[in-house]
Amino acid sequence: MRKLDTKTLVVASHNKGKLREIADLVAPYDIEIKSALELDLHEPEETGTTFEANAYLKAHAAAKTTGLPALSDDSGFCVKAINDDPGLYSARWAGVSKDFNMAMRNVIEKLQAANKLSGKENTGAYFVSVICLAWPDGHAEYFRGEVHGEAVWPPRGDQGFGYDPMFQPEGETRTFAEMSAEEKHGNVSGDPLSHRSRAFKLFVDQCLQA
């Protein structure tokens, strides 16, 4: 396992919600982050067939361009009754306009149709996050976090982003969009709750701790 030996890290993302979450997670560790958005880096096409492959495409492209280690996150919302869709293609379901209200409507319509066909009420869903830390020489480390729960309708809450308003994690009565960033990151309970914070904890434990 290669340790991060620099105090500057590129976050290979143009997603403002994701950048905000990662900035919050990195804040306690005295690391300066530069985003692909502020550096005006090209967004590589996500042609991978796994979360790990897409995370690497983004992280390695940013690391190679800047000469600095780069961190990326590839994540998705997976609904069990519809073959774990939208999954790897979660962002694409929102279209070029990033309309996640439309994407959530598409998810619930497909879920209701699948449940009607099967005669079962299966609302099981989960979020996946794979964080990739890549260096300019091509070396990479991967950290995967998951959180399971159920898809709910109608969407609830105005915090978070993406599919957060329709996901209720196990053991909770609120959706991710009804929780503060501090709660999702585990700053309140002490345990990381979101998929991204769980993946990030593995990154911290393995690449930042002495």
Active-site annotation, residues: 74
Cα dist from 149 to 1, 177, 183, whole Å = 31, 14, 16
Task: Classify 122 as helix, strand or coil.
Answer: coil
Whole-number Å distance between alpha carbons of 30 and 210 = 14
What is the C-alpha to C-alpha distance for residues 148 and 77, in angstroms, rounded to an integer? 10
**Distance between CA 113 and CA 106 in Å, rounded?**
11
Question: What do you get for the CA distance between the two ends of the chain, in Å?
Answer: 12
* Residue 12 structure tokens: 């290979």
How would you class 42 by CB atoms within 10 Å of its CB: exposed for 0-12, middle for 13-18, buried for 19 or more? exposed
Distance CA 172, CA 187 (A): 16
Contact 56, 140 (CB under 8 A): yes
